[in-house]
């Protein structure tokens, strides 16, 4: 099949690559010329395990083509996948300007029948309005179909998630494009969920809102565990064995971040409110996540005054195995530490610099500890789980460790002479 993917970000790039490696010819287009030039040389501007070699394989076989020529790409392909960004606006609603621009461009280039597939996460009603916009522009309804086909891939395991999906959600107005969609994903479909355009949009939001709620729930439980000296890991394990609850997304810590959960929960909240629906559960999910960093900081302050301390933060990305720092709890934590005039030193295996003033970045995790009073682990990269504790002790001036992701065994650390602090991990 001939497929055009518009937007070469995390979602577009991985989707285009996997479809190309499944035997389709994929044109991935983006307005960012620098990015396209890099991709054509086989250099991937993001860190996603396994992506770069796969892109290079497809480039060599000419099944994957990168270009900025969006008009041509739309005209020459039958399936047009929209994977542009849908960032949050300050009021929590969604900025759909990239989507609107793309729809305008598609409208101008609809020379033959095309299936327009929206993969970007968009608020309920957006795909209906894309359909209506095209009709309003005088385009014949037989010249196109709109499909709402949300993605469920996680950064860091995007390739595996695409190759082994638990489901493929296909939201349509008519059944006409369904068989082509199934053919496109042939062999990598999982369970097929057929629904309406808006149904598919809400499946995506409900999925992320539920997972975010699971995290906020376990973080709230960790607060309770903390005052009763109970280990939250035991509680997660205990409830996770119940198949109705399940073991995943029950890891307590500094809270969720990234480009999806914070944005999607507030977008769903905004959509509900715009229709006068009260959503106290979503509000609580956001509130718990928002206050989680203060819970950790207050615990730390109850052990040691922070004013003027030298603090090392390990981990800057919003989770391990990515280079993405968007809405990372680590960054919010650093901003809060700065209010205490702390001297902040950081290490992250994928991040060497950031636009934060007065923060020192290191390229070696042990170097970052030199003369530190406090080590805070903000992201659970594997390399932080089993450090050389003798080296840590030797480099640090003081012995305080705030475990923001509950990755350490408190008893072991205390036996090693550290002052261990966490929330719900005693
Ligand atoms: C998420 C969804 O999982 C994915 O299906 C959707 O398509 C995009 O959004 P992603 O943002 O890549 O994926 O990351 P995810 O692994 O879901 O983690 C999100 C955040 O939750 C991270 O900050 C992570 O640290 C945090 N988290 C996750 C927890 O705090 N505890 C957990 O148990 C799991």
- What are the tens digits of pLDDT across the range 161-214? 999 999 999 999 999 999 999 999 999 999 999 999 999 999 999 999 999 999
Q: Could you tell me if the CB of 347 is within 6 A of ligand 1?
A: no
How many A from CA of 121 to the centre of ligand 1? 15
**Whole-number Å distance between alpha carbons of 393 and 190:** 49
Q: What kind and span of H or E run contains 65?
A: strand 64-67
Q: Output the CA angle 39-165-98, nearest 5 degrees.
A: 45
Q: Could you tell me if the CB of 251 is within 6 A of ligand 1?
A: yes
Q: Give the three-state DSSP class for 379.
A: coil
CA-nearest of 349, 355, 346 to 310 is 346
Instruction: Clarify whether 260 is annotated catalytic.
Output: yes
Question: Atom 2 (ligand 1): residue with closest C-alpha?
Answer: 154
Question: Atom 33 (ligand 1): residue with closest C-alpha?
Answer: 249
pLDDT at 355: 85
Q: Output the CA angle 324-122-331, nearest 5 degrees.
A: 25
Which residues, other chains included, contact 160 with Cβ-Cβ below 8 Å and sequence gap of 6+?
A: none
Task: Determine the straight-line distance between the first and last CA of the chain, rounded to whole angstroms.
Answer: 56
Q: What kind and span of H or E run contains 293?
A: helix 280-303
CA-nearest of 65, 130, 140 to 110 is 140
Provide DSSP, 93-112.
-B--HHHHHHHHHHHHT--S
Q: What is the pLDDT of residues 58-103, one digit of tens each?
A: 999 999 999 999 999 999 999 999 999 999 999 999 999 999 999 9
pTM: 0.95
Question: Atom 9 (ligand 1): residue with closest C-alpha?
Answer: 260
Q: Output the CA angle 308-329-335, nearest 5 degrees.
A: 35
Asked if 119 and 135 count as a contact pair (C-beta separation under 8 A), the reply is no
Q: Give the three-state DSSP class for 398.
A: coil
CA-nearest of 85, 91, 14, 87 to 50 is 14
How many A from CA of 321 to the centre of ligand 1? 12
Q: Could you tell me if the CB of 153 is within 6 A of ligand 1?
A: yes
Determine the residue of 85, 258, 333 to mutate for testing ligand 1's pocket, defined as the one with the most ligand atoms within 8 A of the Cβ atom: 258
Q: Could you tell me if the CB of 317 is within 6 A of ligand 1?
A: no
**Whole-number Å distance between alpha carbons of 218 and 214:** 6
**Whole-number Å distance between alpha carbons of 316 and 319:** 8
Q: Could you tell me if the CB of 217 is within 6 A of ligand 1?
A: no
Determine the residue of 257, 261, 264, 380 to mutate for testing ligand 1's pocket, defined as the one with the most ligand atoms within 8 A of the Cβ atom: 261
pLDDT at 23: 95
CA atoms within 13 A on the CB side of 377: 25
Greatest alpha-carbon pair distance for the chain in Å reads 74
**Whole-number Å distance between alpha carbons of 395 and 412:** 19
Q: Could you tell me if the CB of 262 is within 6 A of ligand 1?
A: no
pLDDT at 115: 98
Record the tokens describing residue 183, joined without a space.
């053919």
Atom of ligand 1 lying closest to residue 380 CA: 25
Atom of ligand 1 lying closest to residue 153 CA: 7
Low-confidence ranges of the chain (pLDDT < 50): none
**Whole-number Å distance between alpha carbons of 311 and 414:** 19
CA-nearest of 59, 3, 56 to 186 is 3
pLDDT at 426: 78
Q: Could you tell me if the CB of 318 is within 6 A of ligand 1?
A: yes
How many A from CA of 106 to the centre of ligand 1? 32
Asked if 292 and 255 count as a contact pair (C-beta separation under 8 A), the reply is yes
Determine the residue of 86, 161, 167, 211 to mutate for testing ligand 1's pocket, defined as the one with the most ligand atoms within 8 A of the Cβ atom: 211
Give me the chain's average pLDDT, please: 97
Atom of ligand 1 lying closest to residue 257 CA: 23
Determine the residue of 48, 215, 406 to mutate for testing ligand 1's pocket, defined as the one with the most ligand atoms within 8 A of the Cβ atom: 215
How many A from CA of 256 to the centre of ligand 1? 7
């Amino acid at each position: 099949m001939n497929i055009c993917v518009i937007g070469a970000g995390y979602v577009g790039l991985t989707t285009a690559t996997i479809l190309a490696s499944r035997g389709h010819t994929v044109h991935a287009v983006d307005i960012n010329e620098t990015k396209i030039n890099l991709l054509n040389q086989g250099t991937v501007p993001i860190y996603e395990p396994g992506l770069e070699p796969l892109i290079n394989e497809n480039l060599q076989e000419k099944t994957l083509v990168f270009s900025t020529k969006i008009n041509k790409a739309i005209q020459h392909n039958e399936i047009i996948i929209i994977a542009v960004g849908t960032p949050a606006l300050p009021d929590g609603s969604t900025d759909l300007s990239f989507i609107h621009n793309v729809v305008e461009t598609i409208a101008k280039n609809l020379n033959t029948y095309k299936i327009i597939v929206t993969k970007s996460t968009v608020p309920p009603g957006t795909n209906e309005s894309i359909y209506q916009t095209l009709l309003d522009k005088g385009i014949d309804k037989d010249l196109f179909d709109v499909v709402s086909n949300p993605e469920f891939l996680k950064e860091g395991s995007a390739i595996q998630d695409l190759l082994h999906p638990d489901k493929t959600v296909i939201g349509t107005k008519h059944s006409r494009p369904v068989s082509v969609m199934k053919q496109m994903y042939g062999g990598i479909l999982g369970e097929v969920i057929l629904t309406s355009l808006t149904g598919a949009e809400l499946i995506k939001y409900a999925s992320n809102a539920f997972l975010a709620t699971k995290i906020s729930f376990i973080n709230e439980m960790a607060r309770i565990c903390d005052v009763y000296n109970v280990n939250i890991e035991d509680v997660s394990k205990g409830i996770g064995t119940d198949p109705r609850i399940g073991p995943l997304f029950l890891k307590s810590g500094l809270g969720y971040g990234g480009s999806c959960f914070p944005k999607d929960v507030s977008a769903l909240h905004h959509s509900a409110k715009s229709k006068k629906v009260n959503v106290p559960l979503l509000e609580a999910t956001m509130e718990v996540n928002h206050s989680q960093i203060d819970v950790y900081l207050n615990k730390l302050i109850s052990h040691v005054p922070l004013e003027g301390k030298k603090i090392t933060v390990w981990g800057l990305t919003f989770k391990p195995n990515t280079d993405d720092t968007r809405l990372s709890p680590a960054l919010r934590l650093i901003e809060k530490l700065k209010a205490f005039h702390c001297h902040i030193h950081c290490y992250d295996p994928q991040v060497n610099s950031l636009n934060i003033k007065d923060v020192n970045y290191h390229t070696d995790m042990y170097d970052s500890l030199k003369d530190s009073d406090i080590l805070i682990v903000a992201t659970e990269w594997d390399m932080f789980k089993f450090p050389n504790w003798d080296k840590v002790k030797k480099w640090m001036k003081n012995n305080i460790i705030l475990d923001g992701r509950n990755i350490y065994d408190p008893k072991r650390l205390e036996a090693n002479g550290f002052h261990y602090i966490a929330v719900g991990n005693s």
